[in-house]
Every structure is written in structure tokens, then in C-alpha cells.
A and B are shown apart, each in its own frame.
Chain A
């Protein structure tokens, strides 16, 4: 059965995108987005995108990495199998720094990448917009605005008029096949 994904339109001018984003937000829309071939500076503010919590996830990854590394080196060397090598102490901070640093970076990086994809809901190999020609151009040379049909303010006609008044071209309703 065909379902309506929402309405989409094309932009070519980055300034018009910023203006449209601010206007859509002012009109009360929340479930809209711009699909762009590269990140547009200033669009986050215009759209009112909330700051991501990703840095905290990264921090947590780094802290866990440091804790795991220190614990691993101390427990294996000084507790589980104490073995004096070269007359060195069983555990000391200075020689433990390199591995602590490396594991901090490693777990921080994993947390960042996994966190970024998870927060974005990726990987998800299907998008409601994917069969629309606009969507295909959004990775090439156009900025594509999409307003979800599920948005409270969505109205097939009024939304179209609003988008056109903001300078969007080829505004049209996009449908997808519901399986």
C-alpha cells in the first residue's frame, strides 16, 4: 500500500536554505529536515537542532578505556601473577601511561563512531525518501527539504505553498511503498 512520506522540494542557494529552515521552524514545523551533499554551516542553528550528547558518549568511552587499561596492567602484573622483571616494580604509574593513553583513545574513538551512528539511527538501509529523485540529487548538487507527513502542522496544500514561497523548486508529495 502506498503511504505518504511527506513533501519535498529542491533548493540551490545555501542562503535560501538557511532562511527556509528558520521560517519552517517559526511556522511550527518540527519534523522536517534538509538533505544536503555536505554540511551547511549555520543550518543547525536555523533549524534549531539540539546539541548532540555525543561528546558525553565519547568521554565515557575514554574514561572506561583509561580505567580498563590501568586495572589490566595493575591486576595482571601485581596481583594475578607477580613476576619481577629487570628489578622493576610490579606496578608503577610511569610505565603504565603509554598503554593507558592508547586504550583511552581507542575506546573513545569506538564510542564516538558507534555513538554517532547509533544516535543517527544508522545503519538503516532504507529511507522513505529514497525513491524520490530529489533524494538522489541531495548527494550531488541540491539541497532537499523534506517535511514529514507525521508532523502536526503538515498539510498537503499549505505546506507546499509555504515551501514554494520560501523558494523551493519542484515541490511535491513523496510516497513510499509500505511493506
Chain B
């Protein structure tokens, strides 16, 4: 049995009384954090970001992204005032840019829930360094996603009656047999549960900030949002149970959300959409794109916020492995879709897929394949997985590729209708492009606000996995 003092010798290959090697697997693995951070280092590093003054770079960036978001809001107002005829979608491509963006943003959110829930259940300790930021991205991405279906209704102020079962003077109800309504429930549940999960994780960290606050205003704010958290162990007991339950129910939830998003397409009878592989294919793609976005932002954030000690190359490499695994699943789905199209013997089905790869939108198709299937293969090399510059560039390709995946699925399946007289070609208008750019601006603005004003690392969770933080009997 090891005593308390043995903990301090964890970095050496200590021999216990029985003469056997008493080394915990964690001591052989690459350490999660650089150096030997103490509990106080975690508090100081993370609170320091919140308590310090924003840098000039932060102001410059948020001006830019805020401006972009403002431009998006103006073009949304223009759309509502004029009508959605200012968008490029029209028969036969009735769904186009807006739904592509919706699915794209919903997908981005999936990495956050995977990290916070699924990796928690699998006891992946490395998740604690990135879960807070990834969960924040989930929430911001879902906000961006929700904008599109709501403005596509044309009259968002009455959309609530079309989307939710509210009693109304016509005594009619929403159509529960439609996948679009399932989607309303899936996405709003996803948003609500992600927000609650995120908030529960934040409460102990808000308490940390409250206890450090110097001025009265900060103290009042942190006291209020920390709910008066005291860190009492009797509270932690229920807290940990709640966290486990939330992780347990978020795991099937995150799988269900993109499954139901894929039902929007798969439940229809349109060639190119009506495929049974869609649910797993969409979920894998969502996690793939989500990790792409997490990498894009976290590689920058760890540098700018001086978090290199806590978000190490090991974390980046682990994310790259997830990226490659899900990327291969997506590539497999691309392949199997073609096989099934041929194997079905259905001429319409075959036409859609041949047209996808070699028709008018082939440029989009091959952009997608290049970004999502070919480029991530570089991650087979350890050197590249651990190279931050290359990883960052590849993560951008993944973001682009996954946007194109949704565009390819939606636009190419619609633009060749069953009758050649109804064929068309979708081109986005400046309004389409502006609104999408606006949501990118909104997403980045929210992320910048988060990175400055909310603890970017889960302080209490990181502390709990530092070497020597837990009682030593657990090492046996």
C-alpha cells in the first residue's frame, strides 16, 4: 500500500514494499499537462483571463466579427421585409443555402456534446481541458443553426404557431407525423440540455471567480450566477450524480439529434435523400465537422490565452485521431452510397449519384471528397498529427468540406427533377451569402465573448485530474 508521501515520488519508478513496480498507467502515458501545474496554477491561469483587461487584438477581432454579425442581421431584416424571394432558392431547388447552413451549424455542435458526455462516460481524462470551450461552441452553433429554419418560414413572428403545438383560434395542431416537426423537438431539446449541462459545469467555476472577486459589481455578478455554490462535499455528491445522469442522457441525445436531422431527408422519397445509411452517416459527419471547428478555434485560443500548459499537443493529437476516425466513416458512407445506388437497380437513384460526381455540381462534390476524405489521410503520420500549423490548416479544410457535404446532398438531389423540363441550377444571391457570413460572425463573436468573460477551462474538472489531486489509495 502506498502512503501519502509516495505521491510526491510519482514521477520516479518507485518500488513498493513488496518489491514490485508500483507504477500507475498514467505515469507511463504521456502526461496530460506540461510541467507539474499546482491547483493554484489552474485557478490563476483561467481566472486571469477573465479578470484581466481585454487585449487590443481581442477588441480588433470582435469589432470585425461583430460587424459581420451586424451585416448578417441587416440582411436578415432585408429578407423579412422583402420576402424570401431575395434568396436564390426556387423550383426545383426549394431547399438550398439555408438548410445547408442549418445542418452545417447543428453538426458543429456535436463535438461539444461528444466531448462533454460520451468521453466523460468513457473516462477520457483529456476531455477536461477542452470540454468547456467545445460545449460553448455547441450552444453558439445551435443558436446560429436555429436562425435559418426560422427565417425561412418568412414570417418568424408567427412561426411559433407552425413549430410548436400551441392552442390557436383555428383549433389546429402541428403535424406530428412530419420529420420537420421531429426536428423542432430534437434541436430545441438539444439546445436546452446542452445549456443546462454547460451551466451545471460552470457553477463551481463561477464560485471560484466569486471568491476571488475584488470589486463589488464583479462579486455580485459571480455570486448570483454561482447560485451560492460552497463546494461542500455533500453538494458535490449530488452534483457528480447529476453530471453523470446528464452525460448518460446526452449521449443518446447527441446521436438522436443528427439522426433526426437526417430524417428530414431520409424520410422523403427523393432519390439521393431516401437512404437508410443517413442517420449514422450524418452523426459521424457531425462529429467530424465539430472536431474540425474545435481544432480551428482551440489551436488559436490556447496560444492567445496562454493555455499551452493545459491544452497540450497530446490533446490536439487525440482530437486529430477522432477527426480521422470519423472522417473515414464519412468516406465509407460516400462509397457505400454509390454502391447502393448501383445495387438498387433503380435508374433514378443511379442517375442522381452519377450526376452528383460528374454533373453540373461535380466541382462541389469533388471539393467535398478532397476536403473530407483525401486531406485528413495525412493524419496517419504522427508528425502531422502533432504539428499545430498543419492541423490548423487541415481543420479549415474539414470545415469547408463538411459545409459542401450538406450542400451537395441538398442541392444536387433537387436540381435534377424527375422531368428534364423542370431541371435547374441553384446559385446563391448576395443575401444568401451575407446571412451565412453573418452567422459565422455571430458564432465567432459569441465565442470571443465567452473566451474573455467565462472560464475557458473547466477549473474544477482540471484540478480533479492533476497528478496527486486524488487520494492515493485510488492508484491501486
Contacts and interface: CB of A to CB of B under 8 A. Distances in A.
A13 interface: yes
Which range holds the interface residue count of chain A?
Answer: 35 or more
A124 B207 CA distance: 12
B228 A116 contact: no
A102 B261 CA distance: 13
Contacts, number: 213
Contacts of B204: 37-38, 139
Given A72-B165, A140-B39, A140-B40, A86 B177 contact: yes
Given A109-B196, A109-B249, A135-B230, A44 B237 contact: yes
A42 B471 CA distance: 8
Contacts of B196: 109-110, 113
Contact of B263 (A17, A98, A120): A98
Interface in A102-128: 102-103, 105-106, 108-110, 112-113, 115-117, 119-120, 122-127
Given A101-B256, A106-B193, A88 B233 contact: no
B208 interface: yes
B232 A102 contact: no
Given A15-B4, A54-B241, A58-B245, A120 B235 contact: yes
B473 interface: yes
Which of B181, B182, B192, B263 has the most chain A CB atoms inside 10 A of its CB?
B182
Which range holds the interface residue count of chain B?
Answer: 35 or more
Secondary structure at the B interface, as helix, strand, loop or mixed, is: helix
Contact of A95 (B174, B176, B211, B473): B176
Interface string B177-196: 11101100110010011001
Given A52-B241, A76-B173, A105 B252 contact: yes
29 contacts: A14-B468, A14-B472, A15-B471, A15-B472, A18-B471, A33-B234, A35-B231, A37-B43, A38-B460, A40-B236, A42-B470, A42-B471, A42-B473, A49-B233, A52-B237, A54-B241, A54-B245, A72-B176, A80-B171, A86-B177, A101-B256, A105-B250, A106-B189, A108-B249, A112-B242, A112-B249, A113-B200, A129-B230, A140-B43
Q: Name the 9 nearest CB pairs between A and B, nearest first.
A: A116-B242, A123-B227, A141-B39, A38-B464, A76-B173, A98-B182, A15-B4, A39-B236, A139-B208
Interface of B: 3-4, 7, 38-40, 43, 165, 171-179, 181-182, 185-186, 189, 192-193, 196-197, 199-200, 204, 207-208, 210-212, 223-224, 227-242, 245-246, 249-250, 252-253, 256, 260, 263, 459-461, 463-464, 468-474
